Amino acid sequence: MADDGPSPEDTLEREELNQALQDCLQRLDEEFRAVVIMVDIEGMDYQEVSTALHRPLGTIKSRLARARLKMRDCLHRFWELLPPAFRLENTRSA
């Protein structure tokens, strides 16, 4: 009987992608990392993050945009590890 769970290849790719994400997150500065984690991973909105970090809402928006750009540049080095739907090579070459 076939297993409905992920294949070993999928498990390996997921682990490698997680490792790449953690590596890129650790490369961020503390202020950018906190905003990315709170918004993209924890799912908090801008106002909640602004309240938690005691920073203005504009600062949160700016930090989040710069953090995402840094994450984009970092993930380009691991593009082969990204799922095909998330690979950006086609869009960059276009």
Partner 1 sequence: MSSRLSLRDYEQFSAYLDGQLSPAETRKLEEQLKANPEWRLALDELAATRAVVRRAPHYRAPRNFTLSPEMAHQVARRPILPSLFSFRFSAALAAVALIAVLVLQVLPGGGPASRVAMAPPAMPTQGPALSLKTEGQTSRAPEAAPQESVQATAQSTPPPVVVWNGQSNMMDTGSPIALGKGGGGGGGTGSSGAEGGIVTFNQSSPGALMAGGDGGAANTFAPPGAIRRNCNLQRRAGSCPVRADLRSRAGTAPRPYGSPPAICPAGRQRPHSGHSLKPGGRADHCHLPWNARQRFSASNRPSPGPRRSLPCPPVDSGHSAGSGIAGRCIYLVCTPPHLNLHEPFFPRPLLSQLWHSAHPASPFWKRTFHLPVVRMDLL
Assign residue 43 a region (left: φ > 0; alpha: ψ between -120 and 50; beta: otherwise). Answer: left
Q: Which C-beta is closer to partner 1: that of 3 or that of 92?
A: 92
Q: What is the DSSP string of 1-46?
A: ----S--HHHHHHHHHHHHHHHHHHHHS-HHHHHHHIIIIIS---H
Minimum distance, C-beta of residue 80 to partner 1, in the bound complex (Å) = 13
Q: Computed from CA positions of residues 55, 61, 65, 68, in that sequence, does the dihedral angle turn out positive or negative?
A: positive
Write down the least CB distance from residue 94 to partner 1, Å: 6
Contact between 92 and partner 1 by CB under 8 A: the answer reads yes
Q: Which is nearer to partner 1, 7 or 52 (CB)?
A: 52
Min separation Cβ 19 and partner 1, Å: 11
Q: Which of 78, 31, 25 is nearest to 50 (CA)?
A: 31
Q: Which residues bind partner 1 (CB under 8 A)?
A: 17-18, 21-22, 25, 36, 39-42, 45-46, 61-62, 64-66, 68-69, 71-72, 75, 82, 86-88, 91-92, 94
